[in-house]
Amino acid sequence: MEIAKLGEFGLIDHLTNDIKMVNPSTVKGVGDDCAVLHYEGTETLVTTDMLMEGVHFDLTYVDMKHLGYKSAMVNISDIFAMGGTPRQIVVSIALSKRFQVEDMAAFYNGLRMACEKWGVDIVGGDTTSSLTGLAISITCIGEAKKEDIIYRSGAKDTDLICVSGDLGAAYMGLQLLEREKMVYYGEVKKLQEKIKDPEQLSREIEKAWQPDFNGKEYLVERQLQPEARGDILKKLREAGVHPTAMMDISDGLSSELHHICKQSGTGCRIFEKFLPIDYQTAVMAEELNMNVTMCALNGGEDYELLFTCPIGDNDIVQNMEGIKVIGHMTKAEYGLQLVSRDGSDFELLAQGWKHLS
Amino acid sequence: MEIAKLGEFGLIDHLTNDIKMVNPSTVKGVGDDCAVLHYEGTETLVTTDMLMEGVHFDLTYVDMKHLGYKSAMVNISDIFAMGGTPRQIVVSIALSKRFQVEDMAAFYNGLRMACEKWGVDIVGGDTTSSLTGLAISITCIGEAKKEDIIYRSGAKDTDLICVSGDLGAAYMGLQLLEREKMVYYGEVKKLQEKIKDPEQLSREIEKAWQPDFNGKEYLVERQLQPEARGDILKKLREAGVHPTAMMDISDGLSSELHHICKQSGTGCRIFEKFLPIDYQTAVMAEELNMNVTMCALNGGEDYELLFTCPIGDNDIVQNMEGIKVIGHMTKAEYGLQLVSRDGSDFELLAQGWKHLS
């Protein structure tokens, strides 16, 4: 269905009319000039992210539902990275004419799946038009007790450095999707030369997207459907571990370590052999002739948690499933160091994942 | 200066390093995964707006400073429209390569001017790249005592309908700017035919933007530099008037009245003769052969306050400077009516300003 048929207000109604609020802190959701929230005796956390078509996502291989899911999840991840509990999101979308009501419904389905997973209410937003691509902006609001908030600036020079899950898989997933896109473009070109009837051509082009992800499903999932690590935060709480600094890994481990070291006034020393890397990530890097350590250091979008904790917690974190101790903080004058498998020291560069290839 | 020279983090530092926080509720601003806010015993208000180049603004005649100012002000306006006090904003921007550090600095100057006017802190955001135009998304956070919040749904069928300031001027300003743009495009075309040297051409094109706003400055200002009406809210408070429903007029009076009537379960009756219209608006409409009443009803972006209040407040609001009583609410079955100057009744259509011309 054409969006113009419903109009802006009709579309918003269509997308939001059966959204139920689950948080007592949500006083009023969609439908007025503002959402109204109520927080008693806690701090409010606010984070925002903007996603642009062609820069942050490619609709050739990302469907609208996954896009909605990821858009919400990356913001939810920022709230966990502060030690908070996500409560509400507001969603702004700018759409060009090629999008249909069904596309928006799929996007909202994805949003809602992510929000339901973490008990987050969708409380407002703005739906508008765009001359070119799709633009998405999401703001997530959460809460935390003052003493539970984990800033980037609290690391001490003797703290351990830990990461959750594994690294580099989302970046390898992106490489895989890009490779399959190139295969698809080749097929499309062949079809365009062969088939003259525009309707038949369009049908055949639709059928031509048959990517081969065999044995690499994990990588694709990590790229398309990242998960915020609220479970890790909960585990740490339950074990009595109080991280001294924390961030989620969106730009890549190196880049995030630079932020934490800068704000905490420390250096760090991490070990190549301790970096958690999934088997599929290693295989894919091999296939693409890429250095898997570089992928783990600089590939972004894993949305795992990077945190530091006192050395006294060593026994706990060493034995915690899903957590890997990868090194320790140092005095600032030692800089940021990576110790390679053969024991050599390298300076850790924060090149960011976009400049990796 | 090229933005690439500073990099994303350098740019953010450059733009935000001397921002001072003025609100006690701002615990932590820019520089971590989230901003941290603290509200004690009040409700939190959240509103968001997205502005896309070519849809919401045209950089031919909007400079970056005005754009920043307006982007912040339209969000601040939504907080006032709920009866709240704006406290913080987060700002997301997606930029294409043609923008320079100086453009962003001008944009932030505008943002800061608007924020300083109303004591609002800039506490975070996201700066990213765009393949095509400029996209801006701003979320504003405010607070209000529970009993001070003014929803759209509280109007009674005997209430008065009031608006602040005057209507239609921003829309006339837009028409004027569009007209001057056409004149400019004509000049540019002539220059392109005459001058072959690209450097000289570029200099001459820059000089060719000499719009004639003589006697129409007010209209241009209303379009480029709208003001949120926190002053009106304050006046109403001081006079003891408690609006029963309120909105800011962004899409046009008709459209906003439809929202209030729908949510309050009422009809309304407004009078053409009472619509506040500035002299310059009337002259410009005449010049363009447009119906000035239609401009006042459906021209958007005035950001004036539309509110309803009990009929007992009639004496107060009738005598309040900057407020005009334009009609009254009715039972829902009477629908939405406009009484023309000659006393005829017309149904009030909510066509929205985008479809006006």
Nearest chain B alpha carbon to A355: B7
Distance from CA of A190 to the nearest CA of B (A): 28
Tokens read off for B295 = 């401009």
Distance from CA of B341 to the nearest CA of A (A): 31
User: Cβ–Cβ of B52/A94 closer than 8 Å?
Assistant: yes
User: Same domain for B227 and B142?
Assistant: no
Instruction: Inform me whether the C-beta atom of residue A137 falls under 8 Å from chain B C-beta atoms.
Output: yes
Q: Residue B84 carries which side chain, given as an amino acid letter?
A: G
In chain B, residues 240-269 whose CB comes closer than 8 Å to chain A: 247-248, 263
Which of the listed residues A148, A182, A200 is the one where a domain comes to its end? A148
Contacts of A38 in chain B (CB under 8 A): 43-44, 146
User: Cβ–Cβ of B142/A53 closer than 8 Å?
Assistant: no
Contacts of A247 in chain B (CB under 8 A): 33
Least CB–CB distance from A43: residue in B38, B84, B144: B38
User: Cβ–Cβ of A49/B130 closer than 8 Å?
Assistant: no
Domain CATH number, residue B45: 3.30.1330.10
Which of the listed residues A114, A148, A182 is the one where a domain comes to its end? A148
User: Same domain for A216 and A234?
Assistant: yes
User: Same domain for B154 and B93?
Assistant: no
> Does an H or E element contain A256, and which?
helix A253-264
What's the domain range around A237?
150-357
Which class for A242: exposed (0-12), middle (13-18), buried (19 or more C-beta within 10 A)? Answer: middle
- Express each pLDDT in A65-120 by its tens digit: 999 999 999 999 999 999 999 999 999 999 988 898 899 999 999 999 999 999 99
* A38 three-class SS: strand
- Express each pLDDT in A164-193 by its tens digit: 999 999 999 999 999 999 999 999 999 999
User: Same domain for B109 and B185?
Assistant: no
Instruction: Inform me whether the C-beta atom of residue A317 falls under 8 Å from chain B C-beta atoms.
Output: no
Please state, in angstroms and rounded to a whole number, the distance separating the CA atoms of residues A337 and A339: 6
ipTM for this prediction: 0.89
Distance from CA of A197 to the nearest CA of B (A): 32
Locus of tokens 């959460």: A142
User: Same domain for B98 and B30?
Assistant: yes
* A81-85, A131-135, A269-273: the lowest-pLDDT one: A131-135
User: Cβ–Cβ of A46/B124 closer than 8 Å?
Assistant: yes
Of chain B, the end-to-end C-alpha distance in Å amounts to 40
Contacts of B122 in chain A (CB under 8 A): none
User: Same domain for A65 and A81?
Assistant: yes
pTM assigned to the model: 0.91
Interface test with A, best of B50, B55, B246 (most A CBs within 10 A): B50
Distance from CA of A307 to the nearest CA of B (A): 13
* A268 three-class SS: strand
Angle between helices A217-224 and A169-194 (to 10 degrees): 100
Q: In what order do the strands lie in the sheet with B35-38?
A: A121-129, A85-95, A135-144, A43-52, B35-38, B26-28
Interacting residues of B276 by C-beta distance below 8 A, sequence separation 6+: B163, B165, B166, B167, B296, B324, B326
User: Cβ–Cβ of B49/A130 closer than 8 Å?
Assistant: no
Residue B18 — very low, low, confident or very high, per pLDDT cuts 50/70/90?
Answer: confident
User: Same domain for B155 and B135?
Assistant: no
User: Same domain for B199 and B105?
Assistant: no
Please state, in angstroms and rounded to a whole number, the distance separating the CA atoms of residues B288 and A295: 61
User: Same domain for B187 and B68?
Assistant: no
Least CB–CB distance from A137: residue in B45, B82, B137: B137
Nearest chain B alpha carbon to A82: B33
Nearest chain B alpha carbon to A248: B33
Residue A57 — very low, low, confident or very high, per pLDDT cuts 50/70/90?
Answer: very high
Residue A353 — very low, low, confident or very high, per pLDDT cuts 50/70/90?
Answer: very low
pLDDT of amino acid A113: 96
> Does an H or E element contain A325, and which?
strand A323-331
User: Same domain for B144 and B155?
Assistant: no
In this prediction, what percent of chain A has a pLDDT beyond 70? 98
Contacts of A45 in chain B (CB under 8 A): 34-37
Contacts of A130 in chain B (CB under 8 A): 52, 55, 135
At residue A354, does pLDDT exceed 70? no
Interface test with A, best of B6, B12, B28, B33 (most A CBs within 10 A): B33
* A122-126, B2-6, B147-151, B350-354: the lowest-pLDDT one: B350-354
Q: Residue A201 carries which side chain, given as an amino acid letter?
A: L
Nearest chain A alpha carbon to B140: A34
Instruction: Inform me whether the C-beta atom of residue A52 falls under 8 Å from chain B C-beta atoms.
Output: yes
User: Cβ–Cβ of B28/A93 closer than 8 Å?
Assistant: no
Nearest chain B alpha carbon to A128: B50
User: Cβ–Cβ of A55/B137 closer than 8 Å?
Assistant: no
Mean pLDDT (chain A, rounded): 92
- Express each pLDDT in A289-305 by its tens digit: 999 999 999 999 999 99
* A8-12, A137-141, B31-35, B266-270: the lowest-pLDDT one: A8-12
Distance from CA of B214 to the nearest CA of A (A): 32
At residue B353, does pLDDT exceed 50? no
pLDDT of amino acid B35: 87
User: Same domain for B155 and B131?
Assistant: no
Which of the listed residues B107, B123, B148 is the one where a domain comes to its end? B148
Distance from CA of B26 to the nearest CA of A (A): 10
Domain CATH number, residue A210: 3.90.650.10
More confident residue, B198 or A323: A323
User: Same domain for B317 and B357?
Assistant: yes
Whether residue A300 contacts residue A250, with contact meaning beta carbons closer than 8 Å, is answered with: yes
Least CB–CB distance from A92: residue in B50, B125, B131: B50
User: Cβ–Cβ of A32/B152 closer than 8 Å?
Assistant: yes
Say how many CB pairs under 8 Å bridge A and B: 193
Residues pairing with B141 in the sheet = B46, B88
Number of domains making up chain B: 2
In chain A, residues 163-202 whose CB comes closer than 8 Å to chain B: none
Contacts of B260 in chain A (CB under 8 A): none
